[in-house]
Structure 1
Amino acid sequence: MARTTTRNPLLTAAAVLALLAAGGAGWGGWSWYAAAHDESAAYAATRDEVLAAGEQAVQNMNTLDHRDLRRGLETWRGSATGDLLAQLTAGRTEFERQIEQAKTVTRAKVLSGAVTELDTRAGRASVMVALRVTVTPPKGAPTEKESRMLGELTRTPEGWKLSALGQAPVGSAATG
């Protein structure tokens, strides 16, 4: 006499669910590993780092208080490298004299910014930063001006620093 076996449907369903769960966990782990080691994720993180450094440096370079001039100029030096640092160092004495005579306070606030170029291998980047700069004279009301600045950054051992800074052109250069 042959013995018949019946399968338990609950046991079969549990085995299928366990197999699906193991497959899902494996796929999730592989996806997480791939995302963590993806070059585009590292590039995006560097871009975010460059933008934060660029915005802060441009803000620093547009903020100065004549009452605490030495600290302000040291902040400028800490934000700069290369040719820009050389220019700041060479013209410091004359610039200090001008600011002490003018007795102004400038405060910059970043409105927005963007990385316009990033070469991670060469350690160079470019940013455009929109600012609102408030200038307070010794007498009279403060004035506000919005401007766009173009900055070039260089990667240094201390992080990304400005190596050039200039005003962005406004309006159309083409005439018809």
Structure 2
Amino acid sequence: MAAPGKLTEVTSEPHRDDAVAPAEPDGRAADAPRQARSPRSTLTWVTGAALALAAAFAAWSAWSWHAAATAPASTGGATRDEAVAAGRTLIATVTTFDPQQRDQDLAHWRDATTGALQVSLASTAPPSGPATTGHVLDAGLSDLNAEAGTAKLLASVEIAVTKDGAAQPARRTRLSATMTRTASGWKLSSLDQLGVAGS
């Protein structure tokens, strides 16, 4: 008991409203709210994902382009270019003729043709008259069957004419040709004239 006349000093813990709640095992306060992801971290994550997708798309595009360039379809393009180049040469050959060099030019015509055209074209060569020189202005395929080895060509041709050593008005004509691929390359198998005009 306390001695009479003396007050007992009572010490008590002052009440604090901001007392810290007991911590959970993971170090967080029991009643502390979980922290949400900050807007900055979210933006960083989205940006990184977008860059990764862009890199993947670029890699896929490069692979697709390479695959298309080396696919069998490109072989068809090469065949088309080859047929057009051959057709231009063949048509220039059969529209060039000099009666003074009849045998030589007829031999060139035979080399440029095949089938019935090879036979019939020789009968159209005049024994005399002006010399002609064909220049193909433009040419393109209207049809190509690479497997069958056939093609149809349309060509615009300018034919220079020389008579007795003097140049004559040039003629322009449009030709439709069928070509057949043989063991020695493309040959003309038919030839039709679509129109003739002066210079």
TM over 0.5: yes
SS of 1:168 mapped into structure 2: strand
Matches within 5 A, 1:106-145: 106-138=132-164, 140-145=166-171
Query: Contact 2:92–2:135 (CA<8 Å) still a contact in 1?
Result: yes
- Root mean square deviation of aligned Cα: 2.7
User: What residue is the counterpart of 1:161 in the other structure?
Assistant: 187
Higher relative contact order (CA 8 A, sep 6+): 1
Letter in 2 for 1:83: A
Q: What displacement does 1:143 show? A: 1.8
User: What residue is the counterpart of 2:19 in the other structure?
Assistant: none
Does 1:83 find its partner at 2:103?
no
Matches within 5 A, 1:1-176: 28=62, 31-39=65-73, 41-88=74-121, 91=123, 95=125, 98-99=126-127, 101-102=128-129, 104-138=130-164, 140-168=166-194
**TM-score (structure 2 length as normaliser):** 0.62
Fraction of identical pairs, as percent: 30
Number of corresponding residues: 145
User: What residue is the counterpart of 1:15 in the other structure?
Assistant: none
Cα offsets for 1:124-173 (capped at 9, x unmatched): 11000101101111165422011100000011011111000010258xxx
Q: What displacement does 1:67 show? A: 2.7
Query: Contact 2:132–2:160 (CA<8 Å) still a contact in 1?
Result: yes
**TM-score (structure 1 length as normaliser):** 0.70
Letter in 2 for 1:129: A
Q: Which runs of 5+ in 1 are unaligned?
A: 1-19, 171-176
Q: What displacement does 1:38 show? A: 3.1
Distance 2:65 2:159 in 1: 46
SS of 2:147 mapped into structure 1: coil
Query: Contact 2:141–2:152 (CA<8 Å) still a contact in 1?
Result: yes
SS of 1:70 mapped into structure 2: helix
Structure number with greater Rg is 2
SS of 1:63 mapped into structure 2: coil
